[in-house]
Amino acid sequence: MTAGDRIRLVDGDITTLDIDAIVNAANEALAGGGGVDGAIHRSAGPELMVACREIGGCPTGQAVITRGFNLKARHVIHTVGPAWRGGDEDRRLADCYRNSLMLAQRDDLATLAFPSISTGVYGFPIKRACRIAIREVIGHFSRHDTPHSVTFCCFGAPDTERYREALAEEGFFL
């Protein structure tokens, strides 16, 4: 199975996916918020907030895992992306993807979905973020069998098209 066979692209609501884990673009306090983070917390129910409080936080670039509670996804991997300041954020965004993938591998999760981390209120340029995300997933697939598949779950046609373009640049046409 090639990396291209293991990558999926959807335009939709990440909270509705019936998979092993979804990734939450969280804040450092794991306190819920707006965008994807708020949607995941609302859909998962109050138990998710309790679990996040028990963890106590997560530094930028790192990742932690909880149950999915009321979500169809059985787990939520929370990662904190960097806010765009025009400097050295690329490495920290790559860390988000790398650490999330390693948690999925550690816990033997076969299916994983990512939102577009840091491209909302954190202002990371979407085209740049797509390239980083795809490069990290393909690199992980070259070294590991788990997860078996990764879905990039976009919110809206423009973001979906940016991911499609970045995948095509890597030789994958979905």
* 5 within a domain of the structure (yes/no): no
Coil, helix or strand at residue 172 = coil
Query: What is the CB neighbour count within 10 angstroms for residue 12?
Result: 14
Give the CATH number for residue 28: 3.40.220.10
On the question of pLDDT at 161 being above 80, the answer is yes
Whether omega before 158 lies within 30 degrees of 0, making that bond cis, reads: no
Find the length of the chain. 174
Q: What is the pLDDT of residues 19-29, one digit of tens each?
A: 999 999 999 99
Tens digits of residue pLDDT in 54-74 = 999 999 999 999 999 999 999
| Residue 111 forms part of a structural domain | yes
pLDDT at position 1, please? 58
In a domain, 65, yes or no: yes
Whether cis (ω within 30° of 0) applies to the bond prior to 125 is no
Average predicted confidence (pLDDT) for the chain:
95
Report the percent of the chain where pLDDT is more than 70. Answer: 98
Is the pLDDT score of 38 beyond 90?
A: yes
Stretch 133-159: mean pLDDT: 96
Specify if 62 maps to a domain.
yes
With respect to residue 6, please indicate whether it lies within any of the assigned structural domains. Answer: no
Q: Is 10 exposed, middle or buried (0-12, 13-18, 19+ CB in 10 A)?
A: middle
Please check whether residue 7 lies inside any domain of the structure.
Answer: no
- Grade residue 4 by pLDDT with cuts at 50, 70 and 90: confident
What positions carry a catalytic annotation? 37
pTM above 0.75, yes or no: yes
Q: Beta partners for 153? A: 10
In the predicted model, what is the mean pLDDT of residues 118-142?
A: 96
Question: Shortest CA distance to 111 belongs to which of 1, 20, 11?
Answer: 20
User: What is the per-residue pLDDT across 100-127, written as a single tens digit (0 to 9) for each?
Assistant: 999 999 999 999 999 999 999 999 999 9
Q: Look at the block and give the residue holding tokens 């991911």.
A: 163
Buried b (16+ CB within 10 A) or exposed e, 48-71: bbebbeeeebbebbbbbbbebbeb
Tell me, yes or no, whether 4 lies in a domain.
no
**Into how many domains does the chain fold?**
1
Is residue 161 one of the residues assigned to a domain? yes
* pLDDT of res. 118: 96
- Residue 172: the pLDDT is 83
Q: Quote the domain boundaries for residue 66.
A: 13-169
Q: State the average pLDDT over residues 91-107.
A: 98
Token readout for 14 is: 């990440």
